[in-house]
Amino acid sequence: MPAPRPPQATNASPDAPLSRRVVAYEIDARLDAQRKTIDAVQILTYRNLTGKALSEFPFHLYLNAFQPESTFFRESRREGGPRKWEEKHRGSIEVKSFEAVGQGDLTSKIEFIQPDDGNPQDRTVFRVRLPRPVPPGASVQFRIVFHAKLPETVARTGYKRDFFFVAQWFPKVGVWWRGEWNCHQFYPTTEFFADFGTYDVKLTLPQNLVVGTTGDELASVANPDGTKTISFRAEDVHDFAWTAYANYRIVEDSWKGSAATVKIRLFMQPEHMNQANRYMRSLKGTLEHFDRWYGPYPYNRITVVDPAHGSGSGGMEYPTLITAGTTWWMPAGFLAPELVVEHEFGHQYWYGIVATNEFEDAWLDEGINSYTETKIMDSLFGAERSALHLWGLTLADSSLQRLTYLANPASDPMVRSAYQFMSGDAYGGVTYGKTATALRTLEGLIGEETLRRALRTYFLRYRFSHPTEEDFLKTIEEVSGQNLRWFFDQAVYGTHVLDYAVQSIHSSRVDWFEKKPPKEKKGETLYRTHVLVRRLGDFVCPVEVEIKFDNGETLREQWDGKDRWVRYTYEKKAKIVSATVDPGRKVWLDRDFFNNSKTDKANAAATRKLANIWRFLTQMLENLLAWLA
Amino acid sequence: MAGAWLACSRWRVLAWAYAVNLLLAVVAGIPAALSVSEILDHSFEARRLVKGFDLGAFVALLMHPEVSLGGPAAGSLLVSLVYLAFMLFLTGGMLHDFRQEQRLSIGEFCAACGAFFWRFARLFLFLLIVLVPLGILYGLLADGAGKLAANSPQEKLGFWLALGCTALALLLFVAIRLWFDVAQVRAVAEDERKIRCALRRSFRQTFPNFLPLLWFFLVTGVVACLGSAAAVWLWVKYIRPEDLAFSILLGQVIVLLWIATRLWLRACETLWYQRRFPPPVVFAEPPSAPPVTLEMPSAEVSPPSGPPEGS
């Protein structure tokens, strides 16, 4: 039965929920900052909106991934991960008791399952079968007592020295999706998937810690034992993360959006305070662009956490809370802090509000977000320098994304589940780089404004729900009014590589056979010109070919790209100067821009420049070694 | 200043060192240029490397299946080793030349180079042996510093520790280098053939006089660094990316500066050694006189009134 459409998100009535609140978490947790443990009681109220009676419930226990024999570590080591196990990296979460209210203690019914790889040592998923199923439309309440041991951060969550970033720290119920439970094990390349709901969280922790969370702070009470208990509430989100560190410096500001005034809080490391304005500028620019291009930001807050050095928590997104990252020496021309803020905020839309399945459709959040990242970074910082402009070097963010794609252009399709890619590099290259580059190419095909409208429609239609890849692709076709299956079949579902090349250009006199031909004269001698263009890859895409002659004439040919090559022949009183495939640089998926053009005359300026650099570096190496003489 | 003057007066040595440096680098650069010219010379995409420097285009070029820089990189390393050998050869003649009042002729210079080459080659091997524990020490220090930095809430601590370890390693390297420099100067000055003896003696000569030697090193090093920094500043501020001629010129100024300051240091060391350990003064022996023959006087002959001749 298709899921009902979500309610229209609006802030006109603050009490109206923005999402189908499937879950309501109430968590009362105490942090032991010395032992790095959390003890908590969790009440989870689950509304059965599946239309079916549910008798079993799976839960994620993500922290159990940080054990040597878990699937997470097995796969990390396969990718060249840690050679040595260190006990400080062990994390765990233990369910002390599990009760279904009204159905009794089900602790002994906890059964660890491994639905993906069958690794019996992996305990990141458990399920519980209820004595009585929960009828459709009814709710069930679980009371779970758990004890969590935080690892010294390996990936995103844990502690580093006295800095805490705590995410995926509580038993999280799976998602009923596409007619069944969706609850995957945790892998190095996977992120998360959960239902929308509410979170009421109480944290008891040492008084000296400054705390930032997903939710709004409701109250703070000092306890006689030197701790404090802070209450938070977050609505219409699907996760709850928090951070605690005594040395945070907080910078506050606000931004007025079309739906709400957004309260901004930066939690800065003291030694990075001089970079707070970089974070703020990027965040406000991003908020403005997303609001204008894709839709209103529906929440009243956004928190940016600048994590402690070496913490491994940077560059990640959680609902209304993101982690950024910088260093004390970050030059202004190296736009890493701006880029990470833009990217992680972008996830508020693509993942936070349009909550796609990050296990199975990682490209729908990482890839779309990487594409919108390139657009916004270009808009904010300039198209050719949106990632770097330092000491004469420039780098566009779109080029950066394309380079990650070029490193792994053909290993996996975009639609592959995150945990099934050939390698971590392939996952990154395809999910981020290839998707961004493919969308950039699509932009070239259907128009920038059309694609922007399509993304806006997709956001507004699917916010606070869990769309699939077909929902996204169909939206693009609907808005563009074009059948784009040929493109999607190759770029999204396939591993086709796109590469067009101008193989050769040549002009020769028509009267070459004459014994005494007249002297060559520009504008008078008749030439026959051949241009050979080839499709070197297996991706078929219509392209433009531009041919220029030395009399100033420019011709544009349209090639459907279906055959492996095409030859253009002309007879003119002019010689060819150059031929270029895709002169407008719309087909970003082309794996080699260097062979897209060919000029009649050589211009060795670039070769000379690189040769000079090489020569200089060799000379300095000689000088260095000569110090041993 | 005397060292600078001496190095300037022997400008031919600098010219040879620079010429060989440049020639070897040009040769090493040919395979790299050939590797990329096929792709760049007829492509509009190459413009992204000329006007400015698009790092994306450059990395895409490096990732190109037809570009292979492993061979050219090995070639650059090889020519650097050849240059090292050349400088070992040149150093003997250079130090001998520095010791002379007048410039040596080319024949004398080359003869001196040859005469001292194998001694310097043996010194070089000893230097490598001495540098191994330094490398190990640096590795241990860097590892320890890294652990300290990772466990410290102060982010900058890692930077300062790395800087400190590097400075310490550099100081130790300089000390060793100065010791071996003095060994070379001594080998030439004393025509020392026993290298281990030369090392022991030069050790005893170097470290009691470490500060003045370190001063020479610091002055020449600061000049090299400041000159390079000025050249880089000029390049960043005023040279357009497409101005290849100026870029080449500035690059060569930097290379020349580093060679010149190294020769300047060697000249200073030679002069210092001459002043600090002058050759012993040998007094001339008086001319030998024929034996005095005394005629025995008769009884009536009175004895001579003065001292006997020859006393």
Each residue's pLDDT tens digit, A297-342? 999 999 999 999 989 999 999 999 999 999 999 999 999 999 999 9
Contact assignment for A612 to B251 by CB distance below 8 Å: yes
Q: What is the pLDDT of residue A110?
A: 97
Q: If you ran DSSP here, which 8-state letter would residue A350 be given?
A: B
B189-209: average pLDDT: 89
Chain B neighbors of A618, CB-CB under 8 A: 24-25, 28-29, 76, 79-80
Q: Give the distance from residue B283's alpha carbon to the nearest chain A alpha carbon, in angstroms.
A: 38
Residue B290 C-alpha, separation from nearest chain A C-alpha, in angstroms: 56
What are the angstrom distances between the C-alpha of A546 and each of A111, A503, A571, A583?
64, 14, 16, 6
Q: Note which residues in 191-220 of chain B have CB less than 8 A from chain A.
A: none
Provide mean pLDDT across the span A11-15: 47
Strand locations in A85-155, DSSP E? 92-100, 104-105, 111-112, 125-134, 139-149
Q: CA of A420 to nearest chain B CA: how many angstroms apart? A: 26
Residue numbers in A near B151 (CB within 8 A): 161
Q: What is the pLDDT of residue A403?
A: 97
User: Which pLDDT band holds residue B28 (cuts at 50, 70, 90)?
Assistant: very high
d(CA A93, CA A28): 15
Question: What number of other Cβ atoms are within 10 A of residue A406's Cβ?
Answer: 21
> Which is it for strands A23-32 and A197-206: parallel, antiparallel or unpaired?
parallel
User: What pLDDT, on the 0 to 100 scale, is given for residue B227?
Assistant: 94
Alpha helices, DSSP H only, in B239-277?
Answer: 244-276
Q: How far apart are the first and last CA of chain A?
A: 81
- Per-residue pLDDT, B282: 66
Query: Of A406, A428, A427, A407, which Cα lies nearest the Cα of A416?
Result: A427
Tell me whether B21 touches chain A (CB under 8 Å). yes
pLDDT in tens, A514-546: 888 889 888 899 999 999 999 999 999 999 999
pLDDT at B289: 62
Say what the pLDDT of residue A7 is: 33
Whether the pLDDT of residue B298 is over 80: the answer is no
Interface probe with B: pick from A330, A385, A499, A615, most Cβ of B within 10 Å = A615
What gap in Å lies between CA A555 and CA B260, rounded to an integer? 57
Q: Averaged over B171-177, what is the pLDDT?
A: 93
Which residues of chain B are within 8 Å of residue A617 when distances are taken between CB atoms? 76
User: Residue A43 in 3-state DSSP?
Assistant: strand
* Nearest CA-CA distance, residue B181 and chain A, Å: 9
pLDDT band at A273 (very low <50, low <70, confident <90, very high): very high
Does A627 contact B262 at a Cβ distance shorter than 8 Å? yes
State whether residue B246 sits within 8 Å of chain A by CB.
Answer: no
Cβ-in-10-Å burial (0-12, 13-18, 19+) of A70 comes to: buried
Q: Check B151 against A161: CB less than 8 A apart.
A: yes
Per the CB < 8 Å rule, is B55 touching A161?
no
**pLDDT tens for residues A356-396?**
999 999 999 999 999 999 999 999 999 999 999 998 899 99
- State which residue of chain B sits closest to A577, comparing Cα positions: B42
Cα–Cα distance list, B178 to A415, A435, B213, B265 (Å) = 63, 58, 7, 10
| Chain A residues touching B127 at Cβ < 8 A | 628
pLDDT of residue A8: 37
Mutate: best of A399, A505, A619, partner B, most B CBs <10 A: A619
| pLDDT attached to residue B158 | 84
pLDDT at B248 > cutoff 80: yes
Distance, in Å, from the CA atom of A178 to the CA atom of A182, rounded to the nearest integer, reads: 8
The candidate with the shortest Cα–Cα distance to A251, out of A268, A237, A234, A263, is A268
* Cβ within 8 Å, pair A604-B37: yes
Mean per-residue pLDDT, B13-32: 94
Task: Give pLDDT, residue B177.
Answer: 94
* Contacts of residue B297, Cβ cutoff 8 Å, sequence gap at least 6: B303
Q: What one-character DSSP code corresponds to residue A408?
A: S
Longest dimension (CA), chain A: 109
DSSP string across A492-543: TSS---B-EEEEEEEEEETTTT-SSPPPP-TTTS-EEEEEEEEE-SS----E
- pLDDT for res A157: 96
**Topology adopted by domain A354-496:** Neutral Protease; domain 2 (1.10.390)
> By mean pLDDT, which of A210-219, A435-444, A483-492, B291-300 is the weakest?
B291-300
Work out the average pLDDT over A194-203: 98
Q: Do B25 and A578 lie within an 8 Å CB cutoff?
A: no
Q: Would you list the DSSP string of B92-127?
A: HHHHHHHHSSSPPPHHHHHHHHHHHHHHHHHHHHHH
Q: Mean pLDDT across the stretch A140-162?
A: 96
Q: Are the beta carbons of B29 and A593 separated by less than 8 Å?
A: no
Burial of B25 (0-12, 13-18, 19+ CB in 10 A): buried
**B129 in contact with A at a CB cutoff of 8 Å?**
no
Per-residue pLDDT at B299 exceeds 60: no
B29–A629 CB contact, under 8 Å: no
Q: Least CA distance to B19: which residue of chain A?
A: A619
* pLDDT of A405 above 60: yes
ipTM of the complex: 0.89
| Closest among A125, A96, A92, A93 to A108, alpha carbons compared | A96
Q: Answer yes or no: do A612 and B60 touch at CB < 8 A.
A: no
* Position A177 pLDDT exceeds 70: yes
pLDDT reported for residue B136: 93
Total beta-carbon pairs less than 8 A apart between chain A and chain B? 193
Nearest to A629 among B36, B87, B159 (CB): B87
A583, pLDDT greater than 60: yes
* The predicted structure's pLDDT at residue B284: 65
B178 close contact with A: CB closer than 8 A: no
Instruction: Report pLDDT digits (tens) over B46-81.
Output: 999 998 899 999 999 999 988 988 899 999 999 999
Specify the range with the lowest mean pLDDT, choosing from A317-321, B36-40, B300-304.
B300-304
Chain B partners within 8 Å of A403 (Cβ): 56, 59-60, 63
CA of B223 vs chain A CAs: smallest distance (Å): 16
Q: Locate the domains of chain B by residue range.
A: 8-274
Chosen CATH of A500-603 out of 3.40.50, 1.10.8, 2.60.40, 2.50.20: 2.60.40
What pLDDT shows up at residue A146? 98
Q: What's chain A's average pLDDT?
A: 95
- How close is the nearest chain B Cα to the Cα of A282, in Å? 22
User: What is the reported pLDDT for A9?
Assistant: 38
Nearest CA in chain A to B258: A623
Query: What residues of B are in contact with residue A626 (Cβ under 8 Å)?
Result: 83-84, 87, 259, 262
Q: Where does the pLDDT of residue A13 fall: very low under 50, low under 70, confident under 90, or very high at 90 and above? A: very low
CATH 2.60.40.1730 domain extents, chain A: 19-239
Interface probe with B: pick from A394, A398, A425, A622, most Cβ of B within 10 Å: A622
Q: Which chain B residue has the Cα nearest residue A399? A: B56
Find the range with the poorest average confidence among A37-41, A618-622, B209-213: B209-213
Choice between A43 and A523, residue whose per-residue pLDDT is larger: A43
Q: Write down the pLDDT at residue A245.
A: 97
Residue B154 has pLDDT above 90, yes or no: no
B33 interface with A at CB cutoff 8 Å: yes
The shortest CB-CB distance from A610 to any of B24, B36, B88 is to: B36
Domain A19-239 belongs in CATH node 1.10.3720.10 = no
- Looking at the predicted structure, is the pLDDT value of residue A210 above 50? yes
Please write the tens of the pLDDT for every residue from A547-570.
999 999 999 999 999 999 999 999
pLDDT the model gives residue B4: 85
Is pLDDT above 50 for B308? no
Report the CATH number of the A247-349 domain.
Answer: 1.10.390.10
Whether B46 sits inside 8 A of A406 (CB atoms) is: no
Give the mean model confidence (pLDDT) for residues A581-592: 97
- Give the pLDDT score at B105: 86
Interaxial angle between packed helices B195-206 and B106-150, expressed in degrees from 0 to 180 and rounded to the nearest 10 = 60
Checking if the pLDDT of B293 tops 80, the result is no
- Inform me whether the C-beta atom of residue B160 falls under 8 Å from chain A C-beta atoms: no
- B88 within 8 A of B123, measured Cβ to Cβ: no
**What residues pair up with A570 in beta bridges, in sequence order?**
A529
Query: Nearest CB to A395: which of B42, B55, B72?
Result: B55
Residue B306 scores a pLDDT above 80: no
Reported confidence tier of residue B193, pLDDT bands at 50, 70, 90: confident
Closest CA–CA distance from residue B285 to any residue of chain A (Å): 43
Question: Would you call B43 and A594 a contact, using CB atoms and an 8 Å cutoff?
Answer: yes
Asked if B49 is an interface residue toward chain A (Cβ–Cβ < 8 A), one would say yes
> For residue B241, which residues of chain A lie inside 8 Å, CB to CB?
392
Q: Which residues of A touch B29 (CB under 8 A)?
A: 611, 614-615, 618
Is B202:B182 a contact under the CB 8 Å cutoff?
Answer: yes
Cβ of A621 within 8 Å of Cβ of B242? The answer is no
pLDDT at B285 (0 to 100)? 64
Q: Which residue of B has its CA nearest to A628?
A: B124
* Residue A14 pLDDT exceeds 80: no
| Contact status of B4 with chain A (Cβ, < 8 Å) | no
